[in-house]
Structure 1
Amino acid sequence: MNQAPRDGWITTQRLRLHHVEWGDPAAPPLILVHGGRDHARSWDAIASAFADRFRVIAPDLRGHGDSDWVSDGSYEMADLVADMAALFDGLGIARASVVGHSLGGNVALRHAGTYPDRVSRLIVIEGLGPSPKVAAEIAARPIADRMRDWIGKQHRMSAAEQRSYDSIDAATARMMAANPRLSPDLARHLTVHGSRTGDDGRVRFKFDPAVGNMSPADISQAEKHALWAAVTCPVILAYGKDSWASNPAEDGRDRHFRDASTALFDDAGHWLHHDRRDAFIAMMQDFIG
C-alpha cells in the first residue's frame, strides 16, 4: 500500500513494545497512536503524507500488533500512558506533535496532560471516552456491580480461545463486516498487517482479546477534566458526523481545554481518518505544518 517503515523496539514495565518509523530520524517527530484492537500499520497512508518532513513514529500499544501481551490480561490506562512516556524517553524525543485515534487518543491526551511540555500539537480522534451522559450512567451503577461485570468478562476471556479464520480473505471479510465503510484494499491491508497465521494454518488477529475489557477502577471524571485542562498545546478534537460518539462541542467537554477546537467530518464514522483520509490529511497539514 505504501513504502514499508523501519521496525523498532523499546522495553518498559517488562514488556517489549514494537513501533514503526518513516522519514528522517533527525526530522521533527510526529507520533501516530492507533485505537483499540488496531495496530501501527493502520497509519501507513497518513504517515506517507508526512514522511518527507517528519520523523513519523507509530507504536503498537501493549496487547496490539507486534507488541507483547500482558501476562494477566489486564490492561490499565495508567500503564498505557506510562508506555507512551517510555516511547518518548526510549527514542530520545523531547517534544512532538501527536495524533491519536479512540483508545490511542485517550492515551495521548492523558500523556499530554501529564507531560505538557512534551507535546506541541495534538489531534484526538474520538478519544475523550464516554459522553457525559454515558459517564454519569456508568458512575451511577454501584462499584460492586461494575467489578462483578469486569471480573466475569475477565474469566470468560481467559477461558475462551482466540477467534480464528481459515484464510486472510475470511479475516478480511470479518474486518469489513465490522466496518463497512472500509474499502476492500484498505480492509485487506489492515488484515494482512494485523494478523498472523499459526502453526495450524489458521489466521488470527494479533490483538489480545482482553484489551476490550478495561478495568472499572479508572480515574474519576473530575481527574480526567484536570488532565485535559493541563494540556498547554493547541488541540483538535476530531469527530465523524455519522459516528456513535458524542460531539464535545455540543456536550460541553471541549470547555475543559485551554485551547481546543472541534473538527467535524461529513460522511465519516468512528474511523474518520480512513473514511475521509484526504480531508483528514489536509486538516493535519494545516494544523501541524
Structure 2
Amino acid sequence: MNRTTIRVPVGDGLTLAADAAGRRGAPTVVLGHGGGQTRHSWDKAEDQLAAAGYFAINYDLRGHGDSDWSPDGDYALETRARDLMAVAAQGSDPFALVGASLGGLTALMASCMGLEPAALVLVDIVPKMSPAGVAKIRGFMMAHPQGFVSIEQAADAISAYYPERPRPKDLSGLNKNLRFGDDGRYHWHWDQRMMSDDRASPERMLALLDAADWTDRVPTLLVRGMKSDIVTDDGVADLRRRVPGLEIVDIRGAGHMVAGDRNDDFNSAVIGFLQRVMPA
C-alpha cells in the first residue's frame, strides 16, 4: 500500500509528521500511537485500513519520532488535543479516532474539547489507570538519559522492560525509535521533558469527560490486552460508567502494546468495529 508522508502545521511554526494512505475523500481514520512509540507502530494497521476503503492518517505525536518538539516543553493533553484536531482536519467526514495509550488519552481530550468523531477506539487505555503500571512506563521512559553506546544496548533495555516479547534478531527496526546524537550515542526519539510536564496530567480530562455530552452518542470501543498492566477491571468499570455504550474487545496474550503483541487480532477487531459503525 502506497503511503504519502506529509507535515501538518499545528501552530507556532511547529509541524507534525504523518503518513497518509488510501483514497482521499473516503471516511477517515486517524491513528495516534502510545507514549514512547512512533507512527511506525501502526504501519500494518494503516495499510489494512486503506485496503478496507478508509483514508488513514497515521501521525507522530508532538515530541515523538519525526514530529517537532515543543520549544517550551509544553506537552499538556490540551496541547496534544489541538494537534489532533489539526491532523484530523487533513481528512474528511466522517472520521474516527484510534488511539493507543497516550494517543488514546489525546483522543479522549480532543473529544471533550469539541472534536466529535463518528467513532472512537481506545487501545489499552482508560482514564483511571493502574498507578503501578503507569510508574513502570514512566520508569522506562525516564531511564538512560545519557543514551546508549549501541543499538544492541538499547535492545537490552527494551528486553529488560518487556521480557515477554521475543528479542528481534534483526535490530535495524530500532533505528526508527532512536536518534544518533552529537555525543556519538543513541538516544530515544522522544523528548524526555514530556515526562516532567505536570500539564500532561489527565485529571482535568476526567472533569471534562464527566461534563461531556458526546459519550452517549459516539460509538466507543476499548481494545484491552488481557495481560495489560495499565488497564484493570476497576478502570474498565470506571470508563463504562462515563461512556454507557462502551464496547470492549479483549485480546488474549497481549499486554499494553496490544497492536505489537497480537497485530492481526487487533487489526481485525478494530476494522470490524469501524466497518459496522462507520462503513467505508
Q: TM-score under structure 2 normalisation?
A: 0.81
Question: Match of 2:207?
Answer: 222
Paired position in structure 2 for 1:288: 274
Cα distance change, pair 6–186 in 1 and its aligned pair in 2 (3 A): farther
Shift of 1:228: 7.4
Residue by residue over 1:212-235, the C-alpha shift from the partner in whole angstroms, topping out at 9 and shown as x without a partner, is 234166516332323375463211
- 1:71-150 superposed matches below 5 A: 71-89=71-89, 91-115=90-114, 117=116, 119-131=117-129
Q: Deviations over 1:158-204 (max 9, x none)?
A: xx994322222322332232223334449946522122223443222
Shift of 1:6: 2.1
1:226-241 correspondence to structure 2 within 5 Å: 226-227=211-212, 229-230=214-215, 232-241=217-226
Gapped regions of structure 1 (runs ≥ 5): 135-156
Taking a change above 3 Å as real, the CA distance of residues 219 and 252 of structure 1, as seen in their structure-2 partners, is closer
Distance 1:262 1:79 in 2: 28
Q: Which moved more, 1:273-282 or 1:108-117?
A: 108-117
Q: Pick which of 198-207 and 9-18 moved more.
A: 198-207
Task: Please report the TM-score for the alignment, with normalisation by the length of structure 1.
Answer: 0.79
Specify the alignment match of 2:227 in structure 1. 242
Would you say how many aligned residue pairs link Structure 1 and Structure 2?
260
How many Å separate the matches in 2 of 1:61 and 1:191?
Answer: 18
- State the 1:77 CA deviation: 0.7
Conserved? CA contact 1:182–1:274, under 8 Å: no
Identity %: 26
CA distance in 1, matches of 2:42, 2:32: 8
Listed one character per residue, the Cα deviations across residues 42-85 of structure 1 (whole Å, up to 9, x for unaligned) are: 11122222222222111111111111111222311110001111
Aligned alpha-carbon RMSD (Å)? 2.8
Is contact 1:241-1:267 (8 Å) kept? yes
> What CA distance in whole angstroms lies between the structure 2 residues aligned with 1:194 and 1:68?
15
Q: Say which SS state the counterpart of residue 198 (structure 2) adopts.
A: coil
In the TM superposition, what is the alpha-carbon distance from 1:274 to its structure 2 partner? 1.4
Going from structure 1 to structure 2, the CA distance change for 1:189 and 1:183 (only over 3 Å counts) comes to farther
Letter of the structure 2 residue corresponding to residue 9 of structure 1 = R
Distance 2:43 2:205 in 1: 35
Instruction: Work out the CA distance in 1 between the residues paired with 2:62 and 2:95.
Output: 21
1:207 equivalent in alignment to 2:193:
no
